[in-house]
Chain A
Amino acid sequence: MQKRKLVSILLAMVLVLAACGGNSKEGTNGNTQADGSQEKKTVTVFQFKTEIVEGLHELARAFEAEHPNIKIDVQTVGGSGDYEAGLKTKFASGEGPDIFSNGGYSKLLLWQERIEDLSDQPWVKDISPAAADPVTLDGKVYGLPLSMEGFGYIYNKDIFAEVGIDPLPKTYSELESAAKKISDAGITPFANAYYEWWLVGSQGVSVAFNNQPDTNAFIDGLNDGTATIAGNEHFLNWAKLMQLTLDYGNKNPLTTDHNTAVTMFANGEAAMMQQGNWTQNMIDSINPDMNMGILPMPISDDAAVTSKVTVGVPVNLVVNKDSKVKEEAKMFLNWLVTSDMGKEYITKNFKFIPTLSTIEASPEDMGSLASELVDYVNRGEAFPNISGKYPDGVTQEFGSVIQEFLAGRVDAQQWTENMQAAWDKLK
């Protein structure tokens, strides 16, 4: 008897609650229809570039001023691993952001069913081909590439002039003799931040892939088992280049982190380091008078093949397919790359290398490293950064396998076999 009473009370409560829920829902629906024009819509942007957060916020405020009905909410989680985990959590909890970053290539494939096709957007025709490649799938463009970045060996021009390195090294042998000269002058040739797995596992080793006669065919071959890294000539050559940087590098490279290496370079303690134009601001803040440029990472003596820097697109903004404010999100993206303010921020504030032909940047805006990279691209001496084509998680595996080689635990041949095993494990 008692139990039944309890159950009936509970049921009654549930019913009342349900009724309330239904009512309130209808209420809001009615409201939106009545005065939908005044409804403020919020577009959330989820991204990981910590260095552009402030600028993005300022851009968002300016956009809101022009579009009073739209609110832009920029959320940032730094570091690519944490960013990805955060993004997944957001989608899993049903709060997928309206605009988010995507790395392109395999990441695009991974997220494809969540991403809106943007091919009809006005800026699509202006994307430079190299930047469009990572976000293009079956002829459709899925993202807005925001910037280009590139890396190679950043070098100190003053030190190079002082020890008399002229012309600049374009091949492995020339780099070796340059390192010798610098070392003889009592300066450390290379600052190696091999504590950072991404420096070697993601960026560095992509050079070995790009030196293959046909990089894409090689990667396809790895995936279907017809090609192998084990014993591959270009990987063994790359290992030789790494050995060179170790022989002519700082002490304890495996405990040297990114900041330490950049500081060494900026203070003139080292003449070269494997880095990209994203270090420009940091070097400028330590040593504003630094006179520097960027060199390729040559792994052989065939300059035509190997003497190239690597450029890629780190951030592509994409739109959530299931977003309720898709149109507003697209408006914001369009505004970012077409408004005067957006254009100015991309070049002057973020110091990005623009990816759209409609945005022009002067060397003063971008800094010396970026403008040298642009020169390389214009001369056709640039590899695309294909690290986005590795299977998920391979960059980290590569990083640890390469560190094992750098620590001298395995020889080059064994190292290539471990690289192949890492690929096979995750392909």
Chain B
Amino acid sequence: MKKRKMEWGLQAFFVGPVFLFFVLILIVPFLLGMYYSLTDWNGIAKTVNWVGLSNFKTLFTDDTGFWQSFIFTTKFTVVGVVLVNIVGFVFAYLLTNALKLRNIMRTVFFMPNVIGGLLLGFIWQFIFIKGFDTIYKLTDWSFFGLAWLGDPTTGFWGIVIVFIWHQAGYLMVIYISSLTNVPKEIVEAAEIDGANRWQMLRSITIPLVMPAVTICLFLAISWSFKIFDINLSLTAGGPYKSTESVAMNIYNEAFQNNRYGLGTAKALLFFVTVAIITLIQVRVTKSKEVEA
């Protein structure tokens, strides 16, 4: 009896403060958001009118912009998640080999992650608009002469490039830690059995780093679905809203169009979607994990 009480006290001592802030910062705003999604609040007025489900009705019947941004974000997520994981894994795979500049390279690849996304976006905006133009004038390669960020396609790929640049380093670190944990004896045994590098990668390394893949996919999916800062600083959704992510569409609805209610309704729908997708992903990749 006494022991149980002690345990409760300890739990409360360690988890309590975090739980309190979690409730204050996440749960309360979330519940408030649910409430506002059923009102027509404009974000300023002192009175809030209850409108029931009409925001959701507008959302499903009369808001093509939202669905366009949804399609954009989905496309971006598919492309971004695959590429950022491949790049992160390739970096990790190369940098677990005994290279001379290994540690420096690891630092360099991780560096973009330390710089904030907003800043990176502005730096890359300059590179795309000014830098690429200068390279084009020097080399005449048509790749650099494209209207970067000026049409939907280059805008899309511009954001993908910066996203990979920003996040690949972080995933690389996770993959590195997982790769160095692949047991030496299995690798040796495979070598003795005459497996080549490709076979080893496919049949030993990849299955054994599946737990890392689960984490990395989860992170990449939630990052790319919620993309906002790079999007804002790089294209601001332009040209003509073709690169507007869902997060940005929600922000604009709530703060620019002053339709806070509709904005929170979108946010709620968005939350449910992202939660379902990531849950499915974690289930699927978890089932692929093996133990050595």
Residues of chain A at the chain B interface (Cβ within 8 Å): 2, 81, 84-85, 88, 91-92, 110-111, 113-114, 195, 197, 252, 254-257, 260, 392-393, 396, 399-401, 403-404, 407, 409, 426
Contacts and interface: CB of A to CB of B under 8 A. Distances in A.
B151 interface: yes
Interface string B145-164: 00111110000000000000
A216 to B, nearest CB: 22
A113 B5 CA distance: 54
A393 B256 contact: yes
Contacts of A260: 129-130
B238 interface: yes
Contacts of B238: 195, 197, 254, 399-400, 403
Contacts of A85: 251, 255
Given A197-B238, A254-B150, A403-B240, A110 B256 contact: no
Contacts of A396: 252, 256
B44 A81 contact: no
A2 B5 CA distance: 10
B240 A255 contact: no
Interface in B168-220: none
B125 to A, nearest CB: 8
B44 A407 contact: no
A113 B259 CA distance: 17
B129 A404 contact: no
Contact of A88 (B43, B148, B236): B43
Listed from nearest, the 9 A-B pairs whose CB atoms lie closest are A393-B257, A255-B150, A254-B150, A404-B240, A400-B240, A85-B255, A392-B258, A403-B240, A400-B241
Contacts of A91: 44
Contacts of A81: 255-256
Nearest to A251: B147
Contacts of B237: 400
Given A88-B255, A252-B147, 19 more contacts: A85-B255, A88-B44, A113-B46, A252-B150, A255-B129, A255-B147, A255-B148, A255-B149, A255-B150, A256-B129, A257-B129, A393-B252, A393-B259, A400-B241, A403-B238, A403-B240, A407-B150, A407-B151, A407-B240
A400 to B, nearest CB: 4
Contacts of B256: 81, 84, 392-393, 396
A92 B32 CA distance: 12
A287 B128 CA distance: 26
A195 B241 CA distance: 12
Contacts of B125: 257
B45 interface: yes
